[in-house]
Structure formats: C-alpha cells, structure tokens
A and B are shown apart, each in its own frame.
Chain A
Amino acid sequence: MTYIAAIVLLIGVTLYAIRTGSIKVGLAELISGLLFGGNDNVDVIRDLRFPRIIVAIMSGAALAVSGVLLQSVMRNPLADAGVIGISAGAGFVSVLTVMIWPMLFFWMPLFSVIGGLIACFLVYTFSWRSGLQPLRLILVGVAINALFTGLNQLLGFRGGIAMSTANQASSSMFALKTWDDVKVIVLYGVIGLIAAFALSTWCNLLALQDRTAGNLGLNVMRARVIVSFVAVLLASVATAIGGLIAFVGLLVPHISRQLIGTDHRLLIPFSAIMGGLLILIADTVGRTLLTQTEIPASVIMTIIGGPFLIFMLMRSDRVHGN
C-alpha cells in the first residue's frame, strides 16, 4: 500500500516536473510533440528538461540506496556517503583527474568510483581497530570528509580550467544535463540498484551480530566488502553526474524504515523510489521557486537535511532503544 502510494507520487511529481518551468505545455501537446515532433517547445523540454529529471531521480535513488547499504554494512544509522566522505572523495579524484587530463572526461564516473573507494577504504582502516564502533566510525568519516572537501575547495580556488568541470562534481546543478549524462547514470545506476537488491538478504544478516551471521553460513568479511563496493559505486556515480548532494542517504533510509520496516528486500527498492522522489521535488522546487534564478537541489537538501539530522538524533534513542 505504502509502496503504491510512493510510486504514484513519483509518477505524479515527474509529470508535474515535465510540464512546469519557464516553458509550460499541456499534457496532450507534450505527448503529440514527443510522438510526432514539430513542436519547438516540446523539443526544448525533451533536450533540456527530460535529462535533468532523469538524472535527478537516478541520483536520488542511487544515493538513498547507497545510504541503506552503508548503514547496514557499518551497522550505523548515521552512515551516509555524504557524511563519511565518500562523495567528497569521489568528487575530488574525478575533478583532479579531469583537470590534469581533460580528454579523460568520458571516464569521469570511473575515477569517481576510485575516489569513493579510496575514501571508504580510509574510513574502514582508521576505524577498524575499534571494531567499527559506530561513533568512532562516524568521527573518522567526518574527518575524511573534511579532508576531501578541503581538497575540493583547493581545486576550486585554482580557478580557470578547474571551474568548468569542478562545478559539476562539487555542487549539484541538474541544469545542463544531457542525454549522455543520462546514459551513464542510468547504466551504472541500474546495475548498482539491481546489485543492491540482490544483496538484500546479506544486508538483513549483517543487522545481526557478525558471529551470528557467520554461524548462519554468511562469509561476513566478503559480504562487507561487496556491499561496501556497491554502496560506493552508487554514491560515486551519483556524485560524478548529479554532483554532491548531502543527507539523501541519511534522510531517505530513515523515513523508509519508519514506513516499510527494516527488511532490506522491501527497504532497498522503497528507498530507491523515495530517494528519486525527494531529489526530484528538491530540483523542481529549486527551479520554479524563483523565476530569475535557480536554487541547486543540493542547497535545498542541505537546508532540510541539517535540522532533520538533529531531529533524528533526538528521536533515535527513544525509538530504537539501542
């Protein structure tokens, strides 16, 4: 039931997002324009607005599911690609590479994944000895995030060639997305989302203690590495194409757990839908709220996300007990 409501809502918002903005068209006009061509307004919408909507939905879905996976593998409801530095690492390495070798632009998602993996590896390394203790892991993550965010800003200050590409990965602007971006994010995003769904049973087992999961026949170390890899892939691709958006991976899984429960077989697809919905709303509000200028979705998410994080911290003691 909740599922159907979420899907209907996503379709509804998508239709609204297609029709609204500086160019407005009716649904009938839109469909005939898409099918038979010959309508300039519809062509503009197809080339500019469609890619942006698809990228927004895919980024949101990828980041939300990445959050679910990280939270399960780190046994920590506060783990999120943005918070623990994976997105920042992904952004930094991809921007740096493209600055040095601009012709590698096409491979940006790959370097993004490498950056994400480096950040993830660092977080694990420095929190491993404490047995991945939740608080320590988050603190290490915050430090790694600060490091990469600083490095990103350094690249930004260098100006010149950096600016054109750096903007893309260091703040999220869904405007100017093309069908090429769509191809990349849909390809890697869908692979990542399917992989995530396939791993849902492992995620369920990781919620138990390691030794219990091990006694049930799960190779815990291997499961951790694989689930982390998929989480990094999703977050990095979303960062490479959609840019840095904080808090989606925190907010969406939390709300989804309240609505649908902790069974990952349901939670993962539901979080994907909710994540897509949330970013699409943020982007649509951002581009229609002010007529003169646009507010990036990442800015909107940060403004909603901060207070939400505090709210979550205050509630979590009460709801979950542990």
Chain B
Amino acid sequence: MEIKELSFAYKHRAPIINGITTEFQKGKITTIIGPNGSGKSTLLGLMARNYIPQAGKIIVEGRQLQQLKAKELAKLLAVVHQQNEAPYDLTVERLVAYGRLPYRHMFSQETEEDREAIDWALEVTKLAKLRRQRLHELSGGQKQRAWIAMALAQKTSVLFLDEPTTYLDIFYQIELLELVKELNETYGLTIVMVLHDVNQAVRYSDEIKVVKDGSIIAEGAPEDVMTVELMKQVYDVKAIIRRDEETGMYIVPIAVKA
C-alpha cells in the first residue's frame, strides 16, 4: 500500500494532513503513533476511504483507492474503529455475518463459503461459544473482538485498527494485541493500526510511523525510530529509554520539561 503527496483538511479548518508520502509493507504490522490531533487517526481514515483527500493518491494492491467500488474495497481491506454503535439486540453471529456482505447480492442466500468464513472469524477471536449472545451483554474486550471478527469475515488481506485498545482494561489490551500479532503471524494479514501507547507500539510492530502536525516525521523499525530526541520532539516530554532482556526496548516518560 502506497501513499503519494496526500493532503486533507476538514471543512473550513486548517489542513490536518500535509502532503504525506509513504509506503506500508505487505505482511507486516505497521503502527502509526503521534500526539492527539496530530492527524494519525485521520490518516488511517483516509486510507480506509472514510474521508476523501483534497490532493494526492492512495494505491492499494496496485489500484487507486478512489476508483475502487465500495464492495471491491471491502474485499481488499477491513477496518475496526475505536468506537462502534449497534442496535441493542444485535447478536455476535449476526454482526460477524455482516462481514460477508461485500460478497452477497441483494437476494442471495448464505453460501458454504460465507458459513466457513464466519465460523473461522468466530474461532480465531475466541467467540464461538458466545455467538448467540447479544453484543451489548459482552465485556469491552469481547465486544472489540466481535468487531474484529466482523472485519475478519470480510476475508481481506489488509486489516486496519484505529486505537483498538483505548477503552479497554490492561488485560484486554494485551489480549487484543496478542490476537493482532497472531493474525499477522499465522494468517499473514497486513496490519496497519493507530496506537496511543508507545510501548505497545514498540512491542507489537514491525514498523512505526510517527505523525506530528500532519506529517510523518520518522519511520522505520521501532528500535531505530524511538529515541530520547524523538520523544522530546513529538510529545514534548523527557523520556528514558532502557533495554530489558525479556521485553526488549521500553520507554518511560519522566518529566514534561526536558
């Protein structure tokens, strides 16, 4: 996936994305980080075609994003948003079945393939036993997994996650990131996600892209990108960076003034 000279501004506002050019590697986990308002979620939204850029282009699987039909796009990439709304009586199974809609026509029946994709998505997200439960009865972590299952049922090669851990307890945060890792390692999914927590980004990513004021100011392997200087430049904090035998690199912000 490639991005060229991408710019975007919300109506009557200052531009939030300023001519970004970058590339996302196939089969890897790439994480976009940056402070609030930096444009990191907007960048992901543009790549998911939730917004239309004012300039530049995005190329997915060799094709221009804007020229794809809605259903074609939904077969190429799936998106899990930070916050979701659903009717109060929607069951897990019906939600996951929505993931098959890009493959259905107006009156077509559920096929064997649909069935298998739904079962697989429920299995991978460990929701098989909860399939008949209502979404609203699930815990925060289970709910988020259900939305991921819906995205998985789309059987795309690319999965986007917008701050998937923000509203979860630590247990569910780690559980979710382990799931993301498994999806990447076992099923070869290309993952692009936005994360808030720099340490989670370091631990679970092959590549990190750091966004500030609508531009990518650093990108590459976590070990190379994350430095004391960068933490100062991006978040305006003084941080110490240490290495641990078990976890590898970790970052501790210790003061607001350097």
Question: Which chain B positions have C-beta within 8 A of A211?
Answer: 45, 48, 50, 79, 81
Stretch with Cβ within 8 A of A (4 or more), from B68-76, B121-129, B239-247: B68-76
B78 within 8 Å of A (CB atoms): yes
Contact indicator A209/B90 (Cβ below 8 Å) = no
Of the four ranges (under 10, 10 to 19, 20 to 34, 35 or more), the interface on chain B belongs to 20 to 34
Interface status of B102 (Cβ within 8 A of chain A): yes
A216 & B98 in contact (Cβ 8 Å cutoff): yes
Q: Decide yes or no whether A167 CB sits under 8 A from chain B.
A: no
B75 & A217 in contact (Cβ 8 Å cutoff)? yes
B88 touches A217 (CB 8 A): no
Judge if A158 is at the interface, Cβ distance under 8 Å. Answer: no
Nearest-neighbour CB distance to chain B for A30, whole angstroms, equals: 39
Q: Which A residues are in CB contact (< 8 Å) with B49? A: 214-215
- The answer to whether the Cβ of B89 comes within 8 Å of any Cβ in the partner chain is yes
Bound Cα distance from A219 to B69, whole angstroms:
9
Q: In the complex the two chains form, is B102's CB within 8 Å of A217's CB?
A: yes
B183 at the interface (CB under 8 A from A): no
A198, closest chain B residue (CB): B106
* A214 and B98 form a contact (CB under 8 A): no
Tell me the complex Cα distance, A261–B77, Å.
Answer: 31
CB <8 Å contact, B70 and A212: no
**A216–B85 touching, CB < 8 Å:** no
Residues of B within 8 A of A219 (CB): 70
Report the separation of the CA atoms of residues A163 and B99 in the bound assembly, to the nearest whole angstrom.
Answer: 55
Shortest C-beta distance, A313 to chain B (Å), equals 17
Output the least CB separation between A41 and chain B (Å): 45
Tell whether, in the assembled complex, residue A218 and residue B48 are in contact, meaning their CB atoms are under 8 Å apart: no
A→B interface (CB under 8 Å): 198, 201, 204-205, 207-209, 211-212, 214-219, 261-263, 319-322
Q: Which B residues lie at the A interface, using CB under 8 A?
A: 45, 48-50, 70-75, 77-79, 81, 84-90, 94, 98-99, 101-102, 104, 106-107, 150-151, 154
Q: Which 10 residue pairs of A and B lie closest in terms of their CB atoms, listed nearest first? A: A217-B74, A217-B102, A217-B71, A262-B87, A215-B79, A211-B50, A219-B70, A217-B70, A261-B89, A207-B87
* Extra 9 A-B pairs, beta carbons < 8 Å, given A214-B49, A215-B48: A198-B106, A204-B98, A205-B98, A207-B85, A211-B48, A215-B73, A215-B78, A216-B154, A262-B89
